[in-house]
Amino acid sequence: MRSLIKKQTFFTLEITPLHGTGTCDIVKKIENTRLVSKIDAFIVTDNPLARLKSNSVVTSLKLQEHFKKPSIATISMRDKNKIALQSDLLGANELGVNSILALTGDSAAASDQPNVKGVFEANSLLLLEIIKCFNAGIDYSGKPFSYPPKPISAFCVCNAIANHQKSLQKKIAAKLRFSPFGIISQPIYSIQDAQTLKKIFDDAKNEFKEIETELIFGFFPVTRLRTAQFLNSHVPGIQIPKEWMLKLENAKKISEEKEFETGFELSKTILKNLTDFHPKIHIMGANNFSLLDKLFGL
């Protein structure tokens, strides 16, 4: 993974497992696009929005074996205590899924399952610390493994924008202490925000001269006004520019087709701008692979 992320370009594709056992269906949809030839790795989500999906490690393994490209399995702090987290890491490692995206996880209150309670023994920093222990050949209690796991490539996330830049810089620095391979931002919708985030990241990284962590910009296409409104209102760390909102509002008044066309062009433009500025990007799209193919498979 280190050699991949150190390339001049590095692109990952987000995959959300289905509510069921339909990995084969996901594979077929991906195969109907040009995306595989454009990406370096998959990132598989772990029950996003606390909605029940198939297991991220198993889905990662299936994608990895079929496409012969590495998968990064997301593991959320929401659903597991320290024992379960370590057990999952060991199981993933034995299966050959050795790249992990550490997330705190969405609130259990958003779940589609009745009376769900989040575990949340800590935030994603704990999982990064556990991975660091594993890479040193010990479990979180400090006990050496009889059969040490293979090295684990850790990834984590950060906000795309900051109301207080110093605060975001400190949060990024706290994660850099664990030497993750990459820090992936929430989706970015203006090149100015991208430039600001890159500077914040570089300033934080200056405290850790020996660390080789790369910043990866998040990208999520917005082709509907309601999507832009939801992201602005309900997802912390994301900001849709006012000009996007205005253009989408005006287009929606004309027709749904015009609204989609406007959002598509806005998304296409920011993707190109991000790629020109810093071509290390995580492509998200709620499994709408045909749309991503049109945007990214150019």
* pLDDT interval class at 180 (50, 70, 90): very high
Does any domain span residue 196? Answer: yes
Average pLDDT over residues 145-151: 95
Average pLDDT over residues 233-252: 92
Average pLDDT over residues 40-63: 95
- Average pLDDT score over the chain: 94
Which CATH number does the domain housing residue 285 bear? 3.20.20.220
Percentage of the chain lying above the pLDDT 70 cut: 99
Does any domain span residue 265? Answer: no
pLDDT tens-digit series, residues 3-13:
888 888 999 99
Does any domain span residue 181? Answer: yes
- The model carries a pTM of 0.94
The Cα–Cα gap between 286 and 108 comes to 20
Question: How many domains, in total, are found in the chain?
Answer: 1
Domain that holds residue 35: 2-222+278-296
* pLDDT interval class at 283 (50, 70, 90): very high
Residue 227 has pLDDT above 90, yes or no: yes
Q: What pLDDT does 234 receive? A: 82
* pLDDT interval class at 237 (50, 70, 90): confident
Average pLDDT over residues 4-31: 92
Residue 15: φ, ψ to 5°: -125, 130
Does any domain span residue 245? Answer: no
Residue 80 has pLDDT above 90, yes or no: yes
Q: What pLDDT does 1 receive? A: 81
Residue 128 has pLDDT above 80, yes or no: yes
Q: What pLDDT does 236 receive? A: 80
Average pLDDT over residues 270-287: 96
* pLDDT interval class at 172 (50, 70, 90): very high
* pLDDT interval class at 242 (50, 70, 90): very high
Does any domain span residue 179? Answer: yes
Specify the higher pLDDT residue, 135 or 110.
Answer: 135
* pLDDT interval class at 106 (50, 70, 90): confident
Residue 297 has pLDDT above 80, yes or no: no
pLDDT tens-digit series, residues 59-69:
999 999 999 99
Q: What pLDDT does 29 receive? A: 94
Does any domain span residue 212? Answer: yes
Does any domain span residue 101? Answer: yes
